[in-house]
């Protein structure tokens, strides 16, 4: 019998390689299933591990009396609990266990079950002795993070199994194919291990699968059934509406299959979350005070960034969409390519209107519906990261940036390498949509929404062929672009010259101040002209608001 001696420890669990696990495949159902596995990893496995040890873990989210205190913790331990969840957020899951022996036994059962059930997902657990009477959460958390970082450095990354030359493997992941999926109905898939191969062949083989793929698909279908039965509370109202339709074929999102089949992944990530957590807990010392503030902060982030922000962005378009990942301040969804810029900016504009220091960066990757999803996702993530990097360079705290990339040809390399070959130093992205910092001189060193809008207003006065011609000139040199602008303006009709005179002078002024950046903006607006800035191709009904945003 395990000891229940009262000697509490603060423990933290961290799921390792989350993105690698989710995006190891290009199949959307497996990606969504993988994200749901990670979302529910503690609900599905940690509580069962505690029961195997002979106890339960108290979850404050399931109780009306949610505040943590030493008195409440002792009461819960006397009621038969062996641990209490204290905080979940920022990718970490923190639990106070009654003692270190209990932590080790629960962690052993927890990680063992994950390895046996999933195989390729790793969870790292760390604990430190809690301060006396839970009086110093800040100090305990620092010790915990320091120890956790050391364990991360020492952690083995060896895969739990390898393949013999005679074993069939998944071409994408190199994992052994160990199970079969079979079905006569694509929406009703059943799984069986290789031993039952002969009994299922007559029913129609759906495919050979690795263990990881099978687990992801099983989770996906299980959750889809729960959604249909209205038996799920971890999705927003919008997500439930979408998943009930069960439209996983991305071809249903395109404008016209075979002719206009471009989609876009939008990756959004909140800014300065670590700094904000440090700021709100600056004057908190005890567990009781610190956890109260952290839990409230985590709840507000979920409400602002996921429940309300995504709802507002995706409701802004009548087109279909796919929410892939929505956890904390990290959002990832797929929309029709023509709606991508509008959706991303609607989301960021919502954050601008929120009180406090809410801000985020967005990355957009435009791709064709059958392109490898995992590779495109990485491009979108890197585009988002370029905005964050720009904020660090300019020492900006509260702003919103958008960067985008239109994927063409091979995309199996980094965004930085692609741009190095495509643009060199002629680049205007990322675009800063807005800034909350009152006085920030460094704004002059980045592309602002005002610049983009004014240059776009000039380009919109001319024909599509002239706009596309400026893209080539912009990449060549400042002189070539200036000559092309003068040529287009001189040969335009009277109405275009009259409407574009002031705009023409504005673009020339921008070229004289920062030629490379202005050339970059002209190039970027030219290549995205058909997607976002031509009325004939707008799928969003809010054209007036969109035109106003971009100076039209």
Nearest-angstrom CA–CA distance, 277 and 270: 13
List the beta bridge partners of residue 129: 9
pTM of the full predicted structure? 0.83
Q: Are the CB atoms for 454 and 550 separated by under 8 Å? A: no
Q: Are the CB atoms for 260 and 254 separated by under 8 Å? A: yes
Nearest-angstrom CA–CA distance, 535 and 222: 43
CA distances from 461 to 338, 451, 480, 524 (A): 20, 16, 20, 17
What are the chain's domains? 9-154 (3.30.70), 177-234 (no CATH), 247-445 (3.30.70.270), 446-552 (no CATH)
Secondary structure (H, E, C), 113-171: HHHHHCCCCEEEEEEEECCHHHCCHHHHHHHHHHHHHHHHHHCCCCCCCCCCCCCCECC
The maximal CA–CA distance of the chain, rounded, in angstroms, is 91
Q: Are the CB atoms for 169 and 163 separated by under 8 Å? A: yes
The separation between CA 437 and the C-alpha centre of its own chain, rounded to angstroms, equals: 25
pLDDT for 428 equals: 92
pLDDT for 186 equals: 42
pLDDT for 58 equals: 93
pLDDT for 525 equals: 93
Q: Are the CB atoms for 258 and 264 separated by under 8 Å? A: no
pLDDT for 2 equals: 77
Where does 197-273 show beta strands of DSSP type E? 205-210, 262-270
pLDDT for 16 equals: 87
pLDDT for 266 equals: 93
Nearest-angstrom CA–CA distance, 379 and 172: 19
pLDDT for 248 equals: 58
Contacts of 39 (CB under 8 A, 6+ apart): 234, 327
pLDDT for 194 equals: 45
Contacts of 440 (CB under 8 A, 6+ apart): 394, 396
pLDDT of the chain along its 552 residues, tens only? 678 899 999 999 999 888 888 888 877 788 888 988 998 999 999 999 999 999 999 998 887 667 899 999 999 999 999 999 998 876 679 999 999 999 999 999 999 999 999 988 889 999 999 999 999 999 999 999 999 999 988 887 776 666 778 888 887 778 888 887 655 444 444 555 444 443 334 344 457 888 898 899 889 888 888 888 877 776 767 677 767 665 555 656 655 666 667 889 999 998 988 888 888 888 899 999 999 999 888 888 888 887 788 778 877 665 566 666 665 567 888 888 888 998 999 999 999 988 878 899 999 999 887 777 788 889 999 999 999 999 999 888 889 999 999 998 767 788 888 888 887 778 899 999 999 876 566 677 889 999 999 999 988 888 889 999 999 899 899 999 999 999 988 888 888 888 878 888 888 888 888 888 999 999 999 999 988 887 544 444 444 455 556 654
């Amino acid at each position: 019998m395990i000891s229940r001696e009262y000697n509490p420890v603060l423990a933290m669990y961290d799921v390792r390689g989350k993105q690698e696990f989710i995006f190891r495949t290009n199949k959307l159902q497996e990606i969504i299933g993988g994200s749901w596995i990670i979302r529910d990893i503690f609900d599905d496995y940690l509580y069962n591990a505690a029961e195997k040890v002979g106890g339960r873990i108290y979850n404050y989210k399931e109780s009306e009396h949610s505040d943590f205190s030493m008195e409440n913790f002792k009461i819960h331990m006397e009621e038969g609990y062996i641990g209490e969840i204290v905080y979940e957020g920022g990718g970490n899951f923190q639990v106070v266990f009654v003692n270190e022996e209990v932590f080790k036994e629960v962690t052993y059962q927890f990680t063992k079950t994950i390895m046996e059930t999933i195989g390729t997902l790793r969870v790292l657990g760390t604990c430190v002795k809690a301060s006396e009477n839970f009086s110093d959460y800040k100090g305990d958390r620092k010790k915990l993070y320091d120890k956790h970082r050391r364990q991360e450095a020492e952690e083995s990354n060896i895969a739990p199994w390898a393949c013999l030359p005679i074993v069939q493997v998944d071409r994408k992941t190199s994992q052994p194919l160990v199970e079969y999926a079979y079905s006569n109905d694509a929406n009703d898939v059943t799984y069986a291990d290789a031993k039952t191969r002969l009994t299922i062949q007559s029913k129609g083989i759906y495919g050979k699968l690795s263990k990881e793929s099978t687990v992801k698909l099983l989770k996906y279908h299980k959750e889809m059934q729960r959604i249909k039965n209205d038996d799920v509370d971890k999705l927003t109202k919008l997500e439930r509406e979408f998943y009930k339709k069960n439209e996983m074929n991305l071809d249903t999102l395109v404008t016209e299959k075979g002719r206009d089949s471009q989609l876009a992944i939008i990756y959004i990530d909140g800014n300065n979350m670590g700094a904000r957590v440090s700021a709100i807990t600056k004057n908190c010392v005890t567990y009781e005070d610190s956890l109260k503030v952290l839990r409230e902060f985590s709840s507000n982030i979920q409400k602002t960034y996921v429940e309300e922000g995504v709802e507002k962005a995706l409701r802004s378009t009548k087109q279909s969409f796919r929410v892939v990942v929505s956890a904390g301040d990290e959002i990832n969804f797929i929309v029709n390519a023509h709606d991508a810029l509008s959706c991303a900016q609607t989301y960021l504009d919502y954050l601008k209107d929120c009180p406090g220091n809410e801000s985020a960066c967005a990355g957009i990757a435009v791709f064709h519906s059958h392109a490898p999803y995992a590779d495109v996702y990485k491009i979108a993530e890197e585009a988002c990261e370029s905005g964050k990097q720009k904020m660090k360079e300019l020492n900006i705290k509260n702003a919103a940036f958008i960067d985008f990339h239109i994927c063409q040809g091979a995309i199996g390399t980094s965004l930085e390498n692609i741009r190095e070959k495509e643009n060199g130093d002629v680049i205007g992205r990322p675009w800063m949509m807005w800034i909350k910092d009152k006085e920030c001189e460094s704004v002059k060193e980045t592309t602002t929404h005002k610049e983009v809008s004014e240059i776009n207003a000039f380009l919109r006065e001319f024909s599509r062929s002239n706009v596309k011609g400026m893209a080539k000139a912009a990449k060549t040199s400042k002189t070539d672009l200036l000559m092309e602008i003068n040529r287009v303006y001189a040969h335009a009709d009277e109405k275009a010259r009259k409407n574009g005179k002031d705009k023409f002078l504005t673009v020339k002024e921008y070229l004289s101040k920062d030629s490379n950046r202005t050339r970059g903006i002209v190039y970027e607006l030219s290549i995205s002209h058909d997607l976002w800035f031509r009325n004939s191709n707008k799928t969003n009904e809010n054209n007036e608001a969109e035109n106003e945003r971009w100076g039209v």
